Amino acid sequence: MEQKMKIRIGSWKIDSRSLIRIEWGKFYPKLIVHEKFEKKIKILLRLLTAIGIGTSIISLSPVFSLMLAIVLLGIEQFFEKVLFEYTIFVVQPYPDFEIEYSQWLTNGYLFPNPEFKEKHNLIYHFGPAYKTRDYANKFFEYLKSWNQAENPSEDLDNNICLSFILEEDNSYTTYFYANPNRKWLDHMFYHYRKNNQLKLYGKNQQSMVMQMIYWKNLKIVEGTSFTKFIDEQPENKEFFFAPFFIENGTPIVLEKSKILKKHYSLKKRSELNKEDVEYHYK
């Protein structure tokens, strides 16, 4: 199974389990080691062999000699069966413009008039509201590059993840990021593994992704558009993820940059675990 690891920008701390770990097989534990330690493992095996030869010429009691031989054999067999991994590291392209975190002021919503919603098949709009129209347009054109679909304005495969996390202080945090499990990544990793199966024979591929994650925390005020959106918009029904820009204090939707989606997630902070991207960012 491929392992996808996320690295938080600013800390650059990598879980050591991505380099050395033990997994339990069907009948015995299996040591999985990154290929950077391959030479050291081979040196250790030679050292164990040398110790075995050396002890064989030393006068030891038969019982102690047998016990030592069994221990050395067990250790040697454990390291003989080590599975080596190599790393494929994919970096999500950065935007070709400067990220201005102060641009994201709030969130914008657009709700169709109930009288026309069903008749004209109108759907809800949601998205970050930025200071300027130009930045809103540039940012969403960049987001569309995450969506490797025939039509970047339609993300029905959830290549762009959108989530809302309810915080304990009566606020919510909006997150969006490229889906670390998007299909085209698996396709790319598969072809790399296939093309290198002879060169790297016997080694397991460790697949890693580094990407940007964006989030904004906002207070929940009774009767706000956020509560209306999560109450009335099902998590698996189509809506438009669209940028807004602030004009005269009001969020205005930028229709030309909108993205059709039908996925978002809603959780309480207490419901998150370490497998959730949002767990690591607040």
Most confident of 28-32, 68-72, 132-136: 132-136
Strands 160-166 and 171-178: antiparallel
Task: Please write down the HEC assignment for all residues of 207-234.
Answer: EEEECCEEEEEEECCCCCHHHHHHHHCC
At 8 the pLDDT is 42
d(CA 242, CA 124): 10
**Comparing 181 with 279, which gets the higher pLDDT?**
279
b/e string for 150-166 if b means 16 or more Cβ within 10 A?
A: eebeebebbbbbbbbbb
**Comparing 29 with 137, which gets the higher pLDDT?**
137
Q: Where are the beta strands (DSSP E) in 50-170?
A: 83-91, 104-110, 125-130, 154-155, 160-166
191-210 tens-digit pLDDT: 666 777 666 666 766 666 77
Residue 129, pLDDT above cutoff 50: yes
**What 3-state class would DSSP assign to 157?**
coil
Residue 94, pLDDT above cutoff 80: yes
At 149 the pLDDT is 77
Strands 160-166 and 265-268: parallel
At 77 the pLDDT is 62
d(CA 61, CA 84): 38
Residue ranges of domains in the chain: 92-179+212-280
Residue 83, pLDDT above cutoff 70: no
Closest CA to 9 of 87, 91, 88, 86: 91
Q: What is the mean pLDDT of residues 24-50?
A: 68
pTM of full prediction above 0.85: no
At 43 the pLDDT is 75
**What 3-state class would DSSP assign to 245?**
strand
**Comparing 140 with 59, which gets the higher pLDDT?**
140
Average pLDDT, the chain: 79
Q: What is the mean pLDDT of residues 137-164?
A: 91
Residue 133, pLDDT above cutoff 90: yes
225-272 tens-digit pLDDT: 999 999 999 888 999 999 999 999 999 999 999 999 999 999 999 999
